[in-house]
């Protein structure tokens, strides 16, 4: 398997980035949902947010690299069996996925740094608080974070359903291309 994309196939780096992003998204969504039920005396009250923030920052760096990679590495041509409207919808969904990912992570950053404290990432490095003066920053960012993350999960599931439709109903190579075949 080649490292970079060509006109017919996705390369290893694109494939790895494609599968590396949704796993932490689902983990972060589940962890975030679960954390809202924790009370102050729960042992995970401090540990859950620490994991959530650390994974979130690493996911942000991964998504930024993925966008950089996508910009400099052209995608393979759509399959000839794809209809023009499918190609347009797929393109729009990918743009929305990236936007929702970025808005979710930026709003998470604004929640975490509203008290002017840096985000510690697994003790490896810190992300400083740079924006702390938005009125009710933590609450507003928290609402945005929840709503946008929920929409993101829905869109990821729709994206997966479309891939399964292409594989099982249309019987084309769309899904297999994302496995490097």
Please give the structure tokens belonging to residue 147: 């709503």
| pLDDT score for 18 | 93
The pTM for the full model equals 0.91
Give the total residue count for the chain: 181
What distance in Å separates the CA atoms of residue 148 and residue 99, rounded to the nearest whole number? 10
List the domain boundaries for the chain. Answer: 12-177
pLDDT-based confidence at 1, cuts 50/70/90?
Answer: confident
How much helix, strand and coil, in percent to the nearest 5, is found in the chain? Answer: 65, 5, 30
User: In this model, does residue 180 exceed pLDDT 80?
Assistant: no
| pLDDT, tens only, 118-129 | 999 999 999 999
| pLDDT, tens only, 69-119 | 998 888 889 888 889 999 999 999 999 999 999 999 999 999 999 999 999
Domain 12-177 has CATH 1.10.3470: no
| pLDDT, tens only, 36-46 | 899 999 989 98
| pLDDT score for 127 | 97
What distance in Å separates the CA atoms of residue 117 and residue 119, rounded to the nearest whole number? 7
Both ends of the chain: CA-CA distance in Å? 9
* Dihedral pair phi/psi, residue 80, rounded to 5°: -65, -20
């Amino acid at each position: 398997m080649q490292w970079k994309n060509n006109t017919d196939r996705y390369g290893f780096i694109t494939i790895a980035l494609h599968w590396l992003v949704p796993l932490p998204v689902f983990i972060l969504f589940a962890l975030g949902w679960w954390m809202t039920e924790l009370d102050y005396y729960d042992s995970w009250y401090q540990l859950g947010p620490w994991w959530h923030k650390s994974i979130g920052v690493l996911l942000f760096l991964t998504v930024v690299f993925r966008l950089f990679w996508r910009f400099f590495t052209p995608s393979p041509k759509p399959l000839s069996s794809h209809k023009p409207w499918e190609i347009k919808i797929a393109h729009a969904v990918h743009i929305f996925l990236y936007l929702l990912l970025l808005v979710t992570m930026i709003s998470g950053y604004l929640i975490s740094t509203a008290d002017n404290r840096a985000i510690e990432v697994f003790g490896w490095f810190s992300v400083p608080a740079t924006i702390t003066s938005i009125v009710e920053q933590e609450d507003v960012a928290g609402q945005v974070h929840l709503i946008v993350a929920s929409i993101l999960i829905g869109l990821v599931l729709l994206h997966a359903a479309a891939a399964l439709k292409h594989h099982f109903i249309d019987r084309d190579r769309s899904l297999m291309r994302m496995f490097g075949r």
